[in-house]
A and B are shown apart, each in its own frame.
Chain A
Amino acid sequence: DVKVTQSSRYLVKRTGEKVFLECVQDMDHENMFWYRQDPGLGLRLIYFSYDVKMKEKGDIPEGYSVSREKKERFSLILESASTNQTSMYLCASSSLSGLGFGEQFFGPGTRLTVL
């Protein structure tokens, strides 16, 4: 059974803290993605990576950075958390073959609250 896991289901941080969200996939997928999901705004792409050490900005990269040192792991970093980064964060992965970016496998999400 394919699996994408995220390090935490719920996280509470304070304004200004550095926050790390970790994502691991066990499907040997080349592509990995970070989204945030907000009511009324839907899913928005923050960053994606199509190979180790490669990264591309998505639609809303401001205030975020990412790291992909190993194929199976993709980390999202909030350098200095702010209250407007309170959101549900979803990680996804997809293969280069098959349906490409169209078939993304999502993790369960991390609900981040910044106080």
Chain B
Amino acid sequence: QKEVEQDPGPLSVPEGAIVSLNCTYSNSAFQYFMWYRQYSRKGPELLMYTYSSGNKEDGRFTAQVDKSSKYISLFIRDSQPSDSATYLCAMSVNYGGSQGNLIFGKGTKLSVKP
């Protein structure tokens, strides 16, 4: 069983739709959860960062962590064509050091059609 599982998609939605992206994981020691966005021919950039369980909202984006189910989600409201990118979840046990290394999901490719 892989440590982090993420459906690669591709996912295609119309503009304005609510998008739900998800990852499951097996290591219950993960405490830090991130979502990175990667545009075509670019490096990933950090989108959302959550420590432990709960929700975090930033504009149209909401990150949720359910540690009991080992499941994290990213919701995008009122999706825009500019949201078209690959979204990678990432998680780590610790803040830094060898336990701080990020374990990435494979990424979900999202396309938002005008």
State the A residues within 8 Å of B (CB): 4, 31, 40-45, 48, 50, 56, 58, 90, 92, 96, 99-109
Do residues A108 and B96 form an inter-chain contact, with CB atoms below 8 A? no
Query: What's the Cα separation between A41 and B41 when bound, in Å?
Result: 17
Enumerate chain A residues within 8 angstroms of B100, measured Cβ to Cβ: 100-102
Do residues A106 and B96 form an inter-chain contact, with CB atoms below 8 A? no
Do residues A43 and B44 form an inter-chain contact, with CB atoms below 8 A? yes
Enumerate chain B residues within 8 angstroms of A107, measured Cβ to Cβ: 43
Of the stretches B65-73, B77-85, B104-112, the one at the interface is: B104-112
Query: What's the Cα separation between A43 and B36 when bound, in Å?
Result: 12
Given A40-B106, A42-B88, A42-B107, A104:B101 Cβ within 8 A: no
Do residues B43 and A109 form an inter-chain contact, with CB atoms below 8 A? yes
B49 at the A interface (CB under 8 A): yes
B7 at the A interface (CB under 8 A): no
Q: Using a Cβ–Cβ cut-off of 8 Å, how many residues does chain B contribute to the interface with A?
A: 26
B92 at the A interface (CB under 8 A): yes
Enumerate chain A residues within 8 angstroms of B42, measured Cβ to Cβ: 108-109
Query: What's the Cα separation between A105 and B45 when bound, in Å?
Result: 6
Known A-B contacts: A42-B105, A50-B97. Give 11 more (CB < 8 A). Answer: A40-B106, A42-B88, A44-B104, A45-B102, A96-B96, A102-B49, A102-B102, A103-B46, A105-B45, A106-B43, A108-B41
B25 to A: closest C-beta gap in Å: 13
Query: What's the Cα separation between A56 and B101 when bound, in Å?
Result: 11
Query: What's the Cα separation between A44 and B12 when bound, in Å?
Result: 26
25 contacts between A and B (CB under 8 A): A40-B8, A42-B6, A42-B105, A42-B106, A42-B107, A43-B44, A50-B96, A58-B101, A92-B43, A100-B95, A100-B96, A101-B92, A102-B32, A102-B46, A102-B49, A102-B90, A102-B92, A102-B100, A102-B102, A103-B46, A103-B49, A104-B46, A105-B45, A108-B43, A109-B41
